[in-house]
Amino acid sequence: MVAACTDEVSELTRMGLPRARTSVVPCGVDVNRFEPVGPTLLPRRAKYRIVSIGKIVPPMGFDVTIAALSALPDTELVVAGDPPDGGSPPGDPEASRLAGVARRCGVYDRVRMPGRIAHSQTPALLRSADIVVNNPWYEPFGVVPLEAMACGRPVIASAVGGVLDIVVDGVTGDLVPPRSPEALAKAARKLLGDPTTRDTYGIAGRDRAVARFSWDRAAADTARAYERCIPLPREEASVE
């Protein structure tokens, strides 16, 4: 059984699968497309920018990030993504709910929801951020923080699922509890006020993405997983 992260291995173990019968093959990233140098997307409307990307659904925790924004002056939040049915945010129930959260928190004018961003433009949007926030309740893959790290951007992410394998707390970003706007705001406020740490996280994140999560590494890990389950030909087995 191939799992996307060690947390998923633990779930499978609790379901009765022996740990020795699992292999972890994390998501990979195209480190040639997602890179630190290149164009950026969307002109800024504030001194600092936080970017969050994902489906506009409650488990992504965008409402928590919006709530945290009330404690972050001079900062705008770009929430990029489309509803699960492929529609556009205007008129979508979850997008409307998030807009209501922004109004109640007094940050409606600092929250931008441009809808779906083409994958070809995602690197440019990530590069435009001072911080990339990924704050879901549950996340087995961790694609967004991984792509952000490949772009050399510091990450604040909830300490769940595959994110625990990808983001090294205090090295490539900061891990915070899910569903805690206070913890998120505290981490973001500290990081926005420390450009040296942001740069350090970005460099370390890029190095980690290239060394551990490139497509070549993902392909090699997948091949090794298959080799574990394919029996050797009879003649080779007898020689060994």
The pLDDT of residue 240 is: 47
- Other C-beta atoms closer than 10 Å to the C-beta of 229 total 10
- Return the sign of the alpha-carbon dihedral for residues 160, 162, 165, 169: negative
Residues 184, 135 share a domain: yes
Specify if 179 maps to a domain. yes
| 66 within 8 A of 98, measured Cβ to Cβ | yes
- In this predicted structure, the answer to whether residue 236 has a pLDDT above a threshold of 60 is no
- pTM of this prediction? 0.89
Q: What is the mean pLDDT of the chain?
A: 92
Specify if 240 maps to a domain. no
Structure tokens at 164: 């625990």
Residues 42, 138 share a domain: yes
Number of residues assigned to the chain: 240
- Other C-beta atoms closer than 10 Å to the C-beta of 2 total 15
Mean pLDDT, to the nearest integer, of 67-81? 97
Residues 130, 162 share a domain: yes
* Separation between Cα atoms, residue 65 and residue 70, nearest integer Å: 9
Specify if 64 maps to a domain. yes
| 40 within 8 A of 127, measured Cβ to Cβ | yes
The alpha carbon torsion through 67, 71, 77, 80 (nearest 10 deg) reads -30
Report how many domains make up the chain. 2
DSSP per residue, 147-165: HHHHTT--EEEES-TTHHH
Specify if 194 maps to a domain. yes
Kindly report, residue by residue over 148-205, the tens digit of the pLDDT: 999 999 999 999 988 999 999 999 999 999 999 999 999 999 999 999 999 999 999 9
- In this predicted structure, the answer to whether residue 234 has a pLDDT above a threshold of 70 is no
Residues 18, 114 share a domain: no
Domain CATH code at residue 181: 3.40.50.2000
Residues 108, 136 share a domain: yes
The pLDDT of residue 237 is: 46
- Domain span at residue 227 reads 1-28+216-233
Residue that is written with structure tokens 């173990």 in the block: 13
Residues 22, 34 share a domain: no
